[in-house]
Structure 1
């Protein structure tokens, strides 16, 4: 199975193996196990980690729920900027089976949040990205319905400087007509190519219809590691 994911799959057999690995991984139990509001509260690394990063209300919690098949695993808030902590979820963990930790991060770019509050939780987010040794990839979520914002571009620059690999995931793609979605995908692929930390494969998803969920599960399965006995 290619460790790099679907972008490195050489043929349909390897692609199918990745998809099956993703299905098996996300069929395992997934549980919330930790929340941190400060860096000194972070749990010790216990498995490879994938962080979900994006503007407030881009659909991070909804995507976590869609991937895991659990409607209420991650809390979905209708109020942008409400999540102000790092939420950790573990998939698998039994001896010998694949294990992965998902990190639901605070949203950025919420203009109406007080300046001191934005500094607090955005500072936590960026310090986490720069300093977490178990962090294998950041999924940078962009809303398929709207243009890329300056704050999104600023995060890409930061990830380049921190040498943290990121993969662009388009959310809410079911709300975009196919020609417009194709244009948005091309734009996102161009953004990924323009950044040294960018992953070449952009995945368009919909938490409502399931579009792209299978492909994203396959990508994440390539990053998981066996649990220790």
Structure 2
């Protein structure tokens, strides 16, 4: 008689391979844009677990979402920083047992917007972070090429104040030269998350153009979707 007790136990490599495969399957079906909201009282119903993507307006957020979804035109890439002024909702994994909603948040740290617009966006972000029952994690994107900015620290403070867990994702790692500079940045992020109660301990390193870290990012999202 065969059963689960007859199978050899999985090792760490097997478990990671299973996570990567779950991430691939989550994004094997088309990711679909389904809602946009500029006000907190206009959000769609809270149903599937949500993961929000947040970062500076020039961090490469749209490019990363497109690479993750395998759809280059899904999230609009703008050459004008700070152009996204709303929460954009995308459905992933529809028709599977573990669907997920991806939320593209407005960028922060843009220089050209007025103080009033910045305040409105920050208010929308905080209201969403604090009051969304299906929000499971925020992926906080940081540019691998440059130092942590005051806006990044303010975003982490905001997430901590809203009691929302977040995970740091380094972007544009392919454009970080020399290699020692990327290692230093990764070490900096590892030290940073140790000091933040709300921070996930694993820092992901990605490149939208090269595909670096995309399987691992998908796997992290599949973990969240499976947990419900």
TM-score by length of 1: 0.92
Whether the 8 Å CA contact 1:47–1:225 is kept in 2: the answer is no
Which residue is equivalent to 1:14?
15
Q: Does 1:123 align with 2:123?
A: yes
Which consecutive residues of structure 1, in runs of 5 or more, have no partner in the other structure? 1-8
Which residue is equivalent to 1:107?
107
Larger RCO (alpha carbons 8 Å, 6+ apart): 1
Which residue is equivalent to 2:68?
67
1:49-107 alpha-carbon deviations (Å, 9 max, x no partner):
0000001111111111000000000001010010000000001222x522000000000
Q: Shift of residue 10 of structure 1?
A: 6.5
Distance 1:10 1:162, change over 3 A: farther
Q: Runs of 4+ in structure 1 displaced over 6 angstroms?
A: none
Whether the 8 Å CA contact 2:126–2:162 is kept in 1: the answer is no
Matched length: 218
Q: Give 3-state SS (helix, strand or coil) of 1:98's partner.
A: coil
Distance 1:10 1:79, change over 3 A: farther
Task: Tell me how far apart the structure 1 counterparts of residues 51 and 157 of structure 2 sit (CA, whole Å).
Answer: 19
Which residue is equivalent to 1:137?
137
Task: Tell me how far apart the structure 1 counterparts of residues 137 and 62 of structure 2 sit (CA, whole Å).
Answer: 17
Task: Tell me how far apart the structure 2 counterparts of residues 209 and 122 of structure 1 sit (CA, whole Å).
Answer: 32
Task: Tell me how far apart the structure 2 counterparts of residues 186 and 225 of structure 1 sit (CA, whole Å).
Answer: 30
Whether the 8 Å CA contact 1:48–1:225 is kept in 2: the answer is no
Q: Matches of residues 1-229 of structure 1 in structure 2 within 5 Å?
A: 11-94=12-95, 96-177=96-177, 178-225=179-226
Q: Give 3-state SS (helix, strand or coil) of 1:34's partner.
A: strand
Task: Tell me how far apart the structure 1 counterparts of residues 153 and 36 of structure 2 sit (CA, whole Å).
Answer: 27
Which consecutive residues of structure 2, in runs of 5 or more, have no partner in the other structure? 1-9
Distance 1:70 1:11, change over 3 A: same
Task: Tell me how far apart the structure 1 counterparts of residues 168 and 109 of structure 2 sit (CA, whole Å).
Answer: 17
Task: Tell me how far apart the structure 2 counterparts of residues 101 and 170 of structure 1 sit (CA, whole Å).
Answer: 21
Task: Tell me how far apart the structure 2 counterparts of residues 81 and 10 of structure 1 sit (CA, whole Å).
Answer: 45
TM-score by length of 2: 0.92
Q: Give 3-state SS (helix, strand or coil) of 1:169's partner.
A: strand
1:95-138 alpha-carbon deviations (Å, 9 max, x no partner):
x5220000000001112211111112221112111111100000
